[in-house]
Amino acid sequence: MKDIKTYTEHGGNVYSDEGLLKGKNIIDFSSNINPLGVPKSFLNNIDEALESVIRYPDIEYKRLKKAIIEYHASETKLEEDNIVVGNGAAEIIDLSLSLFKNILISVPAFVEYEKTARKWGKNIEFSYLKEDMHYDYEDIIKKIDGADAVILGNPNNPNGNLIHKEKFYKILDKCERENKIVIIDEAFIEFTGNKSLSFVEDLKSYKSIFIIRALTKFFALPGIRLGYGISSNKEMIKNIKSIQNPWNVNCFAETAGVYVLKDKAYIEDTLKFMNSERKFFVESLKHIDFIKRVYNTEANYVLCSLSKIEASKLYKLCLDHSVAIRVCHNYRGLKGEFVRFAIKSRKDNLRLLEVLNIISENLRC
C-alpha cells in the first residue's frame, strides 16, 4: 500500500518511487478531472506550442488574456489589466493570499488555502461550514471584521456546494464598504453549467471580488498548469503581477488556454454528460450500505460520510480493486469519516459502485 500516498495530502497522486503506477491500471477517483479527457482543440493545435518552444513566451501573455476576455465576454467586460495568469491556480492562490495580513478561510476547503496562508505567516481565522456543509454566512460576516480578505470556493471543495448569492451579497457589500477582498475560487464552477452561479458577472459591481479560475478541472489539463485571477480591482491585479516571476506560464499552457476556452463543443458535451451523470452517481451512492450521507453537490465530485468503516480502511480496500479514492482526513473541520469521489465516465463510475458494493457485502459477512 505504501506506494500510493493519495490520502496523505492531495488527490491525484498516483506515483510511486518508480514513477507512474502504470502496471496497476488504477482508476483514479481521487482527482476531480473532467472524464471527457484532454480537449482535442488543444491536441489539434499542439504544433503551435511546439513551434513556440524555441522562444520565450510573451511576457505579457496578450494572446492568452485575449482568449480569457472572450471566454467571459457574455458575463462581464474584462480588460488585460483585470487579469493575472498563473502557473496553475496554485500560483494565483499563493500570490493573492500573500497580499493580506489577516485571512479568513472557510473550512473544510481546498487544503492549499491554509497551507499557503501559513507559509506566508498570515494570521488565520476559520469559519466552519454548517453541519449540512453549507456556508455559515452569519459566522463569515461576524469574523470578517478581523480579516483583510476571505477565501472560499464556489463550489466548495471537498463537498461541491455553491455560494448562495442572495445571502452572500450582504458580505460583499460589507467588504466593498470596508476595503476587504473576497477571494472566490471558482476552479469547478463550469461544471454547474450555469454562468449566473458564478461571481464573474458581479465583478462589474464589486471591486472587492477576486475570482480564481483554472483549466485543470473542467478542461482536464492538470498536467498543463494554467490558472488565472480576474478582478475589477486593477490595483490588486497590479500588486500580484509585481511579485510574480516573469514567463510563469509555459508555451503549452498558453496554447491550451488559447484554444480550449473557445471549444464550445467540448464545453457542451461536458455539461450534457455531467448533468445526467451527477444525478445517477449521487443516487447510486445513496444505496451503498456504509455510506451514511451523500452531500449535495453542483460540481464533479461527491463528498460522503461513512459509517461502519473507516475512510482509510475503505481506501485500502478500494485500492485492492485498483480504484483510488480521496480520504478526507486532512480537511480541517471534517469531523468523522469522509471520502470524496470524482464523477468519472459511466463505465468507471459503474466499476466504483461495483467495488463499493463488493466491499459492502464483505462487511456484512
Contact 192, 162 (CB under 8 A): yes
Closest contact distance (angstroms) between CB of 47 and a copy of itself is: 10
Residues 6+ apart with CB under 8 A from 316: 1
How many other β-carbons are positioned within 10 Å of the β-carbon of residue 179?
A: 10
Cα–Cα separations (whole angstroms), residue 122 to 115, 117, 234, 294: 10, 5, 23, 34
Q: What is the smallest separation between the CB atom of 247 and a copy of itself, expressed in angstroms?
A: 6
Question: Which CB atom, from 59 or from 365, has the smaller least distance to a copy of itself?
Answer: 59
Nearest distance, CB of residue 65 and a copy of itself, angstroms = 11
- Owner of C-alpha cell 461576524: 142
In the complex with a copy of itself, which residue's Cβ is closer, 94 or 298? 94
Q: Which is nearer to a copy of itself, 48 or 75 (CB)?
A: 48
Q: H or E segment at 265?
A: helix 264-285
**Residue 224 vs 285, nearer CB to a copy of itself:** 224
Residue 221 CA neighbour count, 13 Å, CB half: 27
For 289, other C-beta atoms within 10 Å of its C-beta total 15
Minimum Å distance from CB 38 to a copy of itself?
Answer: 5
Distance in Å, CB of 340 to a copy of itself, minimum? 15
Regarding beta strands 149-153 and 123-128, do their DSSP bridges make them parallel or antiparallel, or are they unpaired?
Answer: unpaired
Residue type at position 267:
I
Q: Which is nearer to a copy of itself, 38 or 147 (CB)?
A: 38
Three-point CA angle 300, 301, 302, nearest 5°? 135
* Shortest spacing between CB 244 and a copy of itself, in angstroms: 9
CA 62/CA 245 separation, integer angstroms: 16
Residues 6+ away with beta carbon under 8 Å from 289: 308, 360, 363, 364
- For a copy of itself, which is the closer residue by CB, 56 or 166? 56
Handedness of CA 213, 214, 219, 220 (dihedral sign): negative
Q: Closest CB to a copy of itself among 74 and 245? A: 245
Residues that bind a copy of itself (CB under 8 A): 9-10, 12-15, 17, 19-20, 28, 31, 33, 37-38, 42-43, 46, 49-50, 52-60, 62-63, 87-88, 90-91, 94, 112, 119, 220-225, 242-243, 245-253
Name the minimum Å distance from CB 96 to a copy of itself.
Answer: 12
**How far, in Å, CA of 288 to CA of 356, rounded?**
7
- The residues with which 102 forms a beta bridge, in sequence order, are 123
Q: How far is the CB of 220 from a copy of itself (least distance, A)?
A: 6
Smaller CB separation from a copy of itself, 82 or 87: 87
Cell of 246: 516573469
